[in-house]
Amino acid sequence: MTTRRQILKAGASLLAGTVATGAVTNAATAQSRPTATQPPIPAPSGQQYTPVVTLNGSSLPWKMDNGVKVFHLIAEPCTREFAPGMTVNCWGYNGATPGPTIEAVEGDRVRILVTNRLPEHTSIHWHGILLPNGMDGVGGLTQPQIKPGETYVYEFTLRQHGSFMYHPHADEMVQVAVGMMGMFVIHPRSPLIPAVDRDFCIMLHAWDIEPGTYIAKPTTMTEFNLWTFNSRVFPGIDPLVVRLGDRVRVRIANMSMHDHPIHIHGYNYVVTQTDGGLVPPGAQFPETTVNIPVGAIRAMEFVADAPGDWSLHCHKSHHTMNAMGHQVPNMLGVKHDDLDPKIQQLLPQYMSMGQDGMAEMARMQMPLPENTLPMMMGEGPFGPLEMGGMFTVIKVREGLARGDYRDPGWYEHPPGTVAWKLKSDESGRDG
Amino acid sequence: MTTRRQILKAGASLLAGTVATGAVTNAATAQSRPTATQPPIPAPSGQQYTPVVTLNGSSLPWKMDNGVKVFHLIAEPCTREFAPGMTVNCWGYNGATPGPTIEAVEGDRVRILVTNRLPEHTSIHWHGILLPNGMDGVGGLTQPQIKPGETYVYEFTLRQHGSFMYHPHADEMVQVAVGMMGMFVIHPRSPLIPAVDRDFCIMLHAWDIEPGTYIAKPTTMTEFNLWTFNSRVFPGIDPLVVRLGDRVRVRIANMSMHDHPIHIHGYNYVVTQTDGGLVPPGAQFPETTVNIPVGAIRAMEFVADAPGDWSLHCHKSHHTMNAMGHQVPNMLGVKHDDLDPKIQQLLPQYMSMGQDGMAEMARMQMPLPENTLPMMMGEGPFGPLEMGGMFTVIKVREGLARGDYRDPGWYEHPPGTVAWKLKSDESGRDG
Amino acid sequence: MTTRRQILKAGASLLAGTVATGAVTNAATAQSRPTATQPPIPAPSGQQYTPVVTLNGSSLPWKMDNGVKVFHLIAEPCTREFAPGMTVNCWGYNGATPGPTIEAVEGDRVRILVTNRLPEHTSIHWHGILLPNGMDGVGGLTQPQIKPGETYVYEFTLRQHGSFMYHPHADEMVQVAVGMMGMFVIHPRSPLIPAVDRDFCIMLHAWDIEPGTYIAKPTTMTEFNLWTFNSRVFPGIDPLVVRLGDRVRVRIANMSMHDHPIHIHGYNYVVTQTDGGLVPPGAQFPETTVNIPVGAIRAMEFVADAPGDWSLHCHKSHHTMNAMGHQVPNMLGVKHDDLDPKIQQLLPQYMSMGQDGMAEMARMQMPLPENTLPMMMGEGPFGPLEMGGMFTVIKVREGLARGDYRDPGWYEHPPGTVAWKLKSDESGRDG
């Protein structure tokens, strides 16, 4: 039997031990990790699973110590580029928000060191994981808070498999609002049937960052202005690269204050997991928009049998935009072009806008405050995409290799398969 | 094999062809379609299904062209009467918001012409429908935008059946906010068992229309003030007329920015479809309030075995009211009757309100801005209904004919089946 | 056959009749009922069920009258202590918000007298219950409104079992906003298998009570500031006391304007009931956060096989806080300590706050307006809990008696089962 004293000793020698996987240990001093999607960490020998891909993020390396998988999370301030042109001061884990994904296998004994480099106390709750009450991470209720400078040790055996999360249960409103969250994936001991070929992790979040500033307001409850996949906004979000015919799982966790109905084009799919475990096949049903409740996870699965560039986005239209003024006067249908010359005598940069809709804004170069993204962004093969926030593309292609997640560029449509413009003399309806 | 050239040619001759159904083609110049529920378009010979009834709307007629069902949608500004006393300047399709419902059958080849008569570009995404990537309608990503004056052609074969939608994927926040949306119903090739006798379509939406104005603010994200079924508010919404014993399906799609929990009185029912397809019978479970997520559809089914006038409404109480001031001072419980005479010396029209609740407002005649509905409306057989917004009534009656959707008036309760007033000397509790 | 006349006569003699259960009838003049959880009312002889426990509330006693269970609800103003230090002027039933839970058995004939002691008319809708149209309680549509001073009689036979609600369908926005709601549990005629050992009822609600005031604003739609379980906020909410190994059911009904994702620590569990009836076992799936839609009920079940103090809370982080200013300037990361002495020369009580997060606020004694609770409250065995609103604890303990709901105090963790602090020289990572 392992005593608490032995475990303490083991923890002490962690960082001097042998790295059991090929991955490089996080530098504890990193203030900001790369925003490119990192290659998955292969399953160690003796364990068989498809490792997850955390979009614009990475998985957390570990060391083995007498049969225990030892992870080290460092709660600390970091910076995060939301998309080129905007970098935010956040709190996260190991230099990133969301923190690196923890991957382990049902039956594993895990030990997780948590070092607090924040200016205030913290704790970690292992959302959805069955464990002894004293490992539940509720500061004040199941353990003392972790003070700045302290390292706490959580250790438990994984008795289940599925999609879970970790986040503070201490000053929770503030700490989560500025980025503290991460996913915790437990692979099954025996591979699930059907097995998936690609397995993606996405954490949803919402932020209120005043244009021209560098930090989210933690007190905002309803009127957010930026919505992120893994703390990135479109076009800063990497595509989900998928080989034609692959079985795909997308695990989506929501740590914001609102539901996000995630719509995938071109497919219908089933929810196979919640943060409580597996949905039995008989209880599954097809959806094309899955509402992810706050504090919940849904894993969706489908077979990628249709090639192309398929949108994946939140269906709340404001959540696929970047920061905008919601209180601007409504100019739709108000003829005001002729006012421009007069106003420009006073305000030379003035442009009338919005009288015919807002599509023009995707092409317009407007002066913006520093560190602020346009409301609508992104350029596709046929022009501006007029998107922001929670939007990305699943790129389904023939002929990719199993582990190949490199962006294959835009889809080349076979001749005659794109909606086409009718010559006006063919329709006989115009004019 | 049909070449693209042949299809173009076919499209050119569309409006000169033979009308395959008895219905009249939409006049392309219509600025506003009738708000009365239009009779359903019967299934053409050789196809067997119960056509849907779009409350306060209609289905879209089509023509046959060499075995292809050809539809024509015209994106254009229109006006919409929300209820008698309020008309709104909207954008829609073929003179209506929501646009007419497209009905077709699994296996059909459909061709849909989309003419843009808006002042800015648009596109149409066929929400939930499995199709080639180039027909997916995402402006910039899968096709060029449809510029004003242009007509684009979408053509694909329907490989599934169920309840779907169409809406722009171009300047989406604005175009959807002002009314651009419609339903797309694909009937199964072999009739479903059990078959339904009545099949209704309702699209949910929310609007922010400042009292006294005629257009919705497209930038509003959370604080809307009007909530609609098919762009109508109670008492402008037609009842769902149902024959006693009918099996009823209600398909509800949500294009607003909030969930709407739709409650039906007097019945429990099951969700049988989402916008992803059919819920298998073993995965169905009874509900009496179904939450419709944003960007999603739920079809509910029940057997109408209880006669009467049964409310169907959103259970968020503000969503069954019309526009109101949410920032008014709270007078509940504040005794202020005696102030009236003094204030009336200065403001002759002044009335103290709200000290005992707001029920009195349903009877009061208050001066309102032009084009503005009272907060609570509607008159039932027993007095004011104190409702607005997303509220209507399912009228279940004996002895209706199969296709009879005419309002049968209020329900006549058999003697002794209505809650009754106790004489005060019977209760012994009062005073 | 019972005629309406006979029933009227029966109603008249209600309060003089024999009390069929041992419980005491509510005093009709009570202005405020106790906030401690009342012991459940045992099933009467001949009926077999586990009575429900309404946290911080009670069940409604009844009398038998010729085989009819007769209940009496009195709609009236009342006061409610949300937690020690804050009492609110509400409207409720029988001196309480939520009103007492009605419990009956499938097949029962029930008669419910409703006396209106409010200053305006009301009605009661029996949410989810199958009944004759004239008993549906929609003022104006299925019955006349119940005027102040009047008593109305509803009578129907219970044809189903499950978890239901009662609330007004008259000036609904106002009357519900200030507390009028209650649960209605119908036990099955034959006990369900598996039977539960503990069965709790919780009603969710949201309130907008300006700090320093005593009443909720009924016009608020989105920006509430207090979120309650049975009209109580943490730490005013009693724990759910459970015996180790018990099968537990928690029925949660939502009468607020937002979804509430209820997260339970330490367990996964299944939804077994909605307000429409039972979820068949084959359609159930495990969850650890269940989203309760507005106007809906979910009953969750699990076997309490893990001892400890397990949090049960809404996962929207603002909903586990009490009233706060959401519009305060964001001081996070802004170094402003050195400003304090200068500002204190002008404002002696001034304290700089928020530069390192808000955890410090749980320990700070700040001057608050009268009748106002701190934003974060509660003291656990390891320090402040930093919670408020919709938060409580499931206390799972060995050795409790079947009907024992007394608070057993904090959990005593076996040695070595609590997350522990690493000595700084063991980690080698600090500094």
- Which chain C residues have a beta carbon less than 8 Å from that of A132? 306, 308, 413, 417
CA distances (Å), origin C264, targets A159, A364, C425: 17, 49, 36
Instruction: Answer whether residue B242 shows pLDDT above 80.
Output: yes
- Distance separating alpha carbons of residues C1 and C405, to the nearest angstrom: 43
3-state SS assignment for residue A174: helix
DSSP letter at C177 equals H
- Distance separating alpha carbons of residues C169 and B320, to the nearest angstrom: 11
Name the residue facing A173 among C317, C380, C418 (closest C-beta): C317
Q: Which of B304, B128, B298, B118 is nearest to B203 (CA)?
A: B298
- The range of the structural domain enclosing residue B65 comes to 4-193
Q: In what order do the strands lie in the sheet with A391-397?
A: A240-243, A391-397, A308-314, A260-264, A289-292
Which ranges of A87-240 would DSSP assign to H, the alpha helix? 172-177
Q: Is the dihedral of CA A87, A89, A95, A97 positive or negative?
A: negative
**Are B319 and B228 within 8 A, CB to CB?**
no
Q: Which residue has the tokens 């009823």?
A: B248
What contacts A277, CB < 8 A, 6 or more positions away? A160, A162, C268, C285, C286
CA distances (Å), origin C59, targets C113, C118, C296, C297: 16, 22, 20, 18
Name the residue facing A221 among C326, C381, C386 (closest C-beta): C326
ipTM associated with this complex: 0.89
Name the residue facing B174 among A287, A357, A380 (closest C-beta): A357
Beta bridge partners of C314: C262
Mutate to test the interface with B, among A279, A364, A420, A425 (most CBs of B within 10 A): A420
CA distances (Å), origin A168, targets A16, A149, A217, A298, B274: 28, 16, 18, 21, 35
Q: What is the pLDDT along chain A (431 residues), one digit of tens a residue?
A: 333 333 333 333 222 222 233 222 333 344 678 899 999 999 999 899 999 999 999 999 999 999 999 999 999 999 999 999 999 999 999 999 999 999 999 999 999 999 999 999 999 999 999 999 999 999 999 999 999 999 999 999 999 999 999 999 999 999 999 999 999 999 999 988 899 999 999 999 999 999 999 999 999 999 999 999 999 999 999 999 999 999 999 999 999 999 999 999 999 999 999 999 999 999 999 999 999 999 999 999 999 999 999 999 999 999 999 987 665 667 777 666 676 677 777 766 665 667 788 887 766 666 789 999 999 999 999 999 999 999 999 999 999 998 899 999 999 999 999 999 998 656 544 33
| Type of residue numbered A234 | F
Q: Which of B6, B188, B51 is nearest to B108 (CA)?
A: B188
A310: distance to nearest CA of chain B, Å? 7
Name the residue facing C259 among A15, A139, A293 (closest C-beta): A293
Domain assignment present for C341:
yes
- Distance separating alpha carbons of residues C370 and C234, to the nearest angstrom: 18
Whether C310 sits inside 8 A of A257 (CB atoms) is: no
Which ranges of C167-302 would DSSP assign to H, the alpha helix? 172-177
CATH of the domain at A156: 2.60.40.420
Name the residue facing B257 among A223, A316, A421 (closest C-beta): A316
Q: Which of A246, A392, A250, A380 is nearest to A314 (CA)?
A: A392
> How, if at all, do strands C198-207 and C247-254 pair?
parallel
Q: What is the pLDDT of residue A16?
A: 27
Same domain for C256 and C341, yes or no, is: no
3-state SS assignment for residue B154: strand
Mutate to test the interface with B, among C133, C145, C165, C178 (most CBs of B within 10 A): C133
Name the residue facing A11 among C269, C315, C426 (closest C-beta): C426
With cut-offs at 50, 70 and 90, classify the pLDDT of residue B9: very low
Whether C8 sits inside 8 A of B320 (CB atoms) is: no
Mean pLDDT of B199-228: 95
| Type of residue numbered B207 | W
- Distance separating alpha carbons of residues A331 and B197, to the nearest angstrom: 46
- Which chain B residues have a beta carbon less than 8 Å from that of A429? 15, 28, 72, 74, 115, 151
Whether B151 sits inside 8 A of A427 (CB atoms) is: yes
C221: nearest CA in chain A?
A222
Instruction: Answer whether residue B26 shows pLDDT above 90.
Output: no
Give residue-wise pLDDT tens across range C138-184. 999 999 999 999 999 999 999 999 999 999 999 999 999 999 999 99
Q: Which of C380, C378, C379, C392 is nearest to C418 (CA)?
A: C380
Q: What is the pLDDT of residue B405?
A: 93
Q: What is the pLDDT of residue B423?
A: 86
Whether B274 sits inside 8 A of A261 (CB atoms) is: no
Whether C383 sits inside 8 A of A74 (CB atoms) is: no
Rounded to the nearest 10°, the torsion over CA B26, B28, B30, B32 is 70
DSSP letter at A238 equals P
Q: What is the pLDDT of residue B353?
A: 64
Q: What is the pLDDT of residue B358?
A: 82
B364: distance to nearest CA of chain C, Å? 14
Whether C267 sits inside 8 A of A172 (CB atoms) is: no
- Which chain A residues have a beta carbon less than 8 Å from that of B173? 317-318, 321, 358
- Distance separating alpha carbons of residues A254 and C399, to the nearest angstrom: 38
C331: nearest CA in chain A?
A217
Whether A223 sits inside 8 A of B218 (CB atoms) is: no
* Best-predicted range by mean pLDDT (C313-327, C364-378, C383-397): C383-397
CA distances (Å), origin B263, targets A227, B393, C98: 30, 11, 21
Instruction: Answer whether residue C24 shows pLDDT above 50.
Output: no
B287: distance to nearest CA of chain A, Å? 16
Same domain for A41 and A187, yes or no, is: yes
- Which chain C residues have a beta carbon less than 8 Å from that of A177? 317
Give buried/exposed letters for A235-269 (b at 16+ CB in 10 A, else e). Answer: bbbbbbbbbeebbbbbbbbbbbbbbbbbbbbbbbb
Beta bridge partners of C78: C90
Q: What is the pLDDT of residue A137?
A: 98
DSSP string, A305-366: -S-EEEEEEESSGGGGS-S--TTS---TT---GGGHHHHHHH-TT-----BTBSGGGGT---
Tokens representing A327 are 């209180």
B393: distance to nearest CA of chain C, Å? 9
Q: What is the pLDDT of residue C403?
A: 85
Those chains having 3 or more beta-carbon pairs within 8 angstroms of chain A are: B, C
Domain assignment present for C272:
yes
Name the residue facing A219 among C268, C328, C417 (closest C-beta): C328
Q: Which of A156, A118, A125, A160 is nearest to A140 (CA)?
A: A125
Domain assignment present for B104:
yes
Q: What is the pTM of this model?
A: 0.90
Q: How many beta carbons lie within 10 A of that of residue B9, not counting itself?
A: 11
Same domain for C158 and C65, yes or no, is: yes
Same domain for C165 and C188, yes or no, is: yes
Name the residue facing B121 among A316, A359, A427 (closest C-beta): A359
Q: What percent of chain B has pLDDT over 70?
A: 85
Q: Which of C323, C356, C318 is nearest to A256 (CA)?
A: C318
- Distance separating alpha carbons of residues A65 and A53, to the nearest angstrom: 25
Whether A330 sits inside 8 A of B14 (CB atoms) is: no
Contacts across the B-C interface (CB distance below 8 Å): 245
| Type of residue numbered B221 | M
**Are B318 and B397 within 8 A, CB to CB?**
no
Rounded to the nearest 10°, the torsion over CA A112, A116, A117, A119 is 160
Same domain for A36 and A180, yes or no, is: yes
At residue A64, what are phi and psi to the nearest 5 degrees?
A: -95, 140
Report, in angstroms and rounded to the nearest whole number, the Rg of chain A calculated over CA atoms.
Answer: 24
Start-to-end CA distance of chain C, whole Å, equals 85
Domain assignment present for B102:
yes
Give residue-wise pLDDT tens across range C253-307. 999 999 999 999 999 999 999 999 999 999 999 999 999 999 999 999 999 999 9
Half-sphere exposure of B156 (CA within 13 A, CB side): 22
Whether C15 sits inside 8 A of B429 (CB atoms) is: yes
- Distance separating alpha carbons of residues C125 and A383, to the nearest angstrom: 54
Give residue-wise pLDDT tens across range B196-210. 999 999 999 999 999
Helix (H) or strand (E) holding B344: helix B340-346
Domain final residue pick, A137, A169, A193: A193
C59: distance to nearest CA of chain B, Å? 20
Domain assignment present for C61:
yes
Those chains having 3 or more beta-carbon pairs within 8 angstroms of chain C are: A, B
Rounded to the nearest 10°, the torsion over CA C351, C357, C361, C367 is 40
Whether A134 sits inside 8 A of C418 (CB atoms) is: yes
CA distances (Å), origin A349, targets A256, A341, A352, C279: 37, 11, 10, 62
- Which chain C residues have a beta carbon less than 8 Å from that of A291? 291
Q: What is the pLDDT of residue C342?
A: 73
- Which chain A residues have a beta carbon less than 8 Å from that of C288? 127-128, 274-276, 296
Domain final residue pick, A338, A355, A371: A371
Number of domains in chain B: 1
Domain assignment present for B117:
yes
CA distances (Å), origin B313, targets B227, B244, C131, C413: 11, 21, 18, 49
Domain assignment present for A68:
yes
Q: What is the pLDDT of residue B349?
A: 63
Q: Is the dihedral of CA C65, C69, C74, C78 positive or negative?
A: positive
CA distances (Å), origin B367, targets A234, A364, B211, B212, B321: 48, 44, 12, 12, 18
- Distance separating alpha carbons of residues A282 and B7, to the nearest angstrom: 43
- Residue C2 CA, chain-centre distance (Å), reads 37
Q: Which of C59, C60, C68, C61 is nearest to C11 (CA)?
A: C68
> How, if at all, do strands C86-93 and C102-105 pair?
unpaired
A31: distance to nearest CA of chain C, Å? 15
Q: What is the pLDDT of residue C355?
A: 78
Domain assignment present for C425:
no
- Which chain C residues have a beta carbon less than 8 Å from that of B283? 282-283
Higher model confidence: residue B310 or residue C328? B310
Whether B138 sits inside 8 A of A259 (CB atoms) is: no
- Distance separating alpha carbons of residues A21 and A64, to the nearest angstrom: 9
3-state SS assignment for residue B101: strand
**Are B94 and B26 within 8 A, CB to CB?**
yes
Q: Is the dihedral of CA B222, B225, B227, B232 positive or negative?
A: negative
**Are B214 and B259 within 8 A, CB to CB?**
no
Higher model confidence: residue B256 or residue B191? B256
Q: What is the pLDDT of residue A329?
A: 66
Tokens representing B129 are 């429908």
Higher model confidence: residue B396 or residue A423? B396
DSSP string, C137-149: --BTTTB--B-TT
Contacts across the A-C interface (CB distance below 8 Å): 244
Helix (H) or strand (E) holding A292: strand A289-292
Mean pLDDT of C2-14: 32
B225: distance to nearest CA of chain C, Å? 10
- Distance separating alpha carbons of residues C265 and C273, to the nearest angstrom: 20
Mean pLDDT of C207-229: 94
Domain final residue pick, C168, C192, C216: C192
C53: distance to nearest CA of chain A, Å? 24
Mutate to test the interface with B, among A259, A302, A376, A427 (most CBs of B within 10 A): A427
